[in-house]
Structures are given as C-alpha cells and as structure tokens.
C-alpha cells in the first residue's frame, strides 16, 4: 500500500523533464529490473538552481525521483550530496520494503549528477557513501 504522498508524486510528478544543457547529468538503473533514472542539474555559485528527472519504471521510482528533486532544489551541492535514500523515503511518508530500492536509485542519481558536474568543472568526484540498507542490484523487482 502506498502513502498519499507517494501517490501524489506519482500522479503529479514535480520537475519531470530534461535540461538540454545541464551542468550535471546522472543516470542510474538496473536494466534487468527496468527502473532507469536520469537526473539533470543546473548549478550556479554551488547552488542547484534547477533540477529535472526522467524515470522509466514503477510508480515508486517516479515518486522517489520527484521527491528527490524537490529535496535538492535550491540546496548547495554539499547539502544535496547528503540527501539519503532514507530521507527520500521518509519525505514520501514511507515506501514498501520491496520498493526501497527506488529511493536508493534517487540517491545514486543525485550523486552521479553532482559528480558529473564536478568532473566537467575540473574537480575530483566525491566518493559515494555506499552502505545502503537496501541495495538496488540485490533486489528483484516485483509489481
């Protein structure tokens, strides 16, 4: 059973789309599962001024992408980096255990987009935290 917040972000996703000249792009996913997520960032003075996403996957993946973009818009890159899959799931008022991997995808997509921005600007990529309570690659996707 999904929360009202998950259903709202699935039915009315925020920040859906693409930024053609994005400063950073992160693509993550598991082709076996079918969930694929792209996060696009516009950054000015170390602040995420715009963020969009494209997600191919289940409702929880779309909702997680939508909420994640809401959580990082207007934040510094450092603040956005600290947004965890747990924070995304909590902001959605919970996800079923079998769908927690969708929030992990959102966190990983943010990290990849930020590191893409850093590399494009001659900076070292940050090391991803890892240590998730749920690994996307280890979960079978079930509807």
What residues have CB less than 8 Å from 32, skipping those under 6 apart? 141
Task: Name which of 91, 42, 97 is nearest 65 in CA terms.
Answer: 91
User: 130 falls in which pLDDT band (50, 70, 90)?
Assistant: low
Domain boundaries, given as residue ranges, for the chain: 2-119
The CATH number of 2-119 is 3.90.1010.10
133 pLDDT higher than 70: no
Strand ranges for 22-140 from DSSP E = 24-30, 35-44, 47-56
What is the tens place of the pLDDT at every residue in 30-47? 777 689 999 999 999 999
Number of helical (H) and strand (E) elements in the chain, helices listed first: 5, 3
What is the tens place of the pLDDT at every residue in 115-124? 999 999 999 9
Catalytic residue numbers?
Answer: 33, 102
85 pLDDT higher than 80: yes
pTM of the model as a whole? 0.89
- pLDDT for the residue 139: 44
Query: Both tokens of residue 88?
Result: 């995304």
- pLDDT for the residue 13: 98
| Mean pLDDT, range 66-80, rounded to an integer | 99
CA dist 139 and 118 (Å) reads 30
- pLDDT for the residue 114: 99
């Amino acid at each position: 059973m999904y929360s009202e917040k998950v259903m709202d972000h699935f039915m009315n996703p925020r920040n859906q789309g693409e930024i053609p000249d994005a400063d950073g792009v992160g693509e993550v996913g598991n082709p076996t599962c079918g969930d694929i997520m792209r996060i696009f960032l516009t950054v000015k003075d170390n602040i995420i001024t715009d963020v969009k996403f494209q997600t191919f996957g289940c409702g929880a993946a779309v909702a997680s992408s939508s909420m994640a973009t809401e959580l990082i818009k207007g934040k510094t890159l450092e603040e956005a980096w600290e947004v965890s899959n747990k924070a995304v799931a909590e902001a959605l008022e919970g996800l079923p255990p079998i769908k927690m991997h969708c929030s992990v995808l959102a966190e990983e997509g943010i990290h990849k987009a930020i590191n893409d921005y850093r590399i494009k600007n001659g900076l070292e990529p940050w090391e991803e935290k890892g240590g998730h309570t749920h690994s996307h690659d280890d979960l079978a996707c079930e509807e």
